[in-house]
Amino acid sequence: MTAPVIIGVLALQGDTREHLHAVADLDAIGRPVRRADELDSVDGLIIPGGESTTMSKLAIEFGLLEPLRKRIAAGLPVYGSCAGMIMLASTILDGRADQVPFGGIDMTVRRNAFGRQVDSFEGTVDISGIDGGPFHAVFIRAPWVESVEDSVEVLGRVKDGPAAGRIVAVRQRHLLATSFHPELTGDLRVHRYFVEMVREAGKTTEG
């Protein structure tokens, strides 16, 4: 029997608990990550939703910015949801001047693209590589992806409404990002997809 993978959840700010529960439901080990030494012990990392500017500031204060950038560059599987998507972007539109992302995905993301908290909504998204039909997605002050480089795979777009066609799920090699919050729906398919990414990365490393 193979050992369970260890999935860290960046616990500087945001909805950490829900992601930890989702990971545990998939027979992986979830651990909150606040310090660089905690980052060293995980096989993959989830960057949760929250406030991306605050997350950026706290990552610098807690000494996590550079260690996390180095592990991303070295191939650490990372999944970012909502604010986590913003933190994985190479370019942020409508962000603060002092906001520093972790980077890793060659995309341009527009912060709060769907509007403020009162403009939060739910909709359906078809996600490539995830079976079971459309995903019921919850968008809360969500970003969207304005553009991607050729190295980025677009996995999902908004199906209906005024934002129809906007990119809301992407993958670039070992990095995954969604505009929406799968941890709030009880649907584990996105988390399962990421856990499998982590397991496959571990097999590659072992080989």
* Catalytically active residues, by annotation: 82, 181, 183
Report helix, strand or coil for 185: coil
Report in angstroms the alpha-carbon separations of 110 from 16, 41, 122.
23, 32, 19
Contacts of 141 (CB under 8 A, 6+ apart): 82, 112, 114, 115, 116, 117, 119, 120
CA distance 159 to 74: 35
Report in angstroms the alpha-carbon separations of 191 from 43, 65, 135, 158.
14, 24, 12, 19
Report in angstroms the alpha-carbon separations of 13 from 10, 55, 59, 76, 192.
8, 6, 10, 21, 23
- Count other Cβ atoms within 10 Å, centred on residue 134: 13
DSSP conformation class of 27: T
CA distance 8 to 42: 6
CA distance 26 to 82: 21
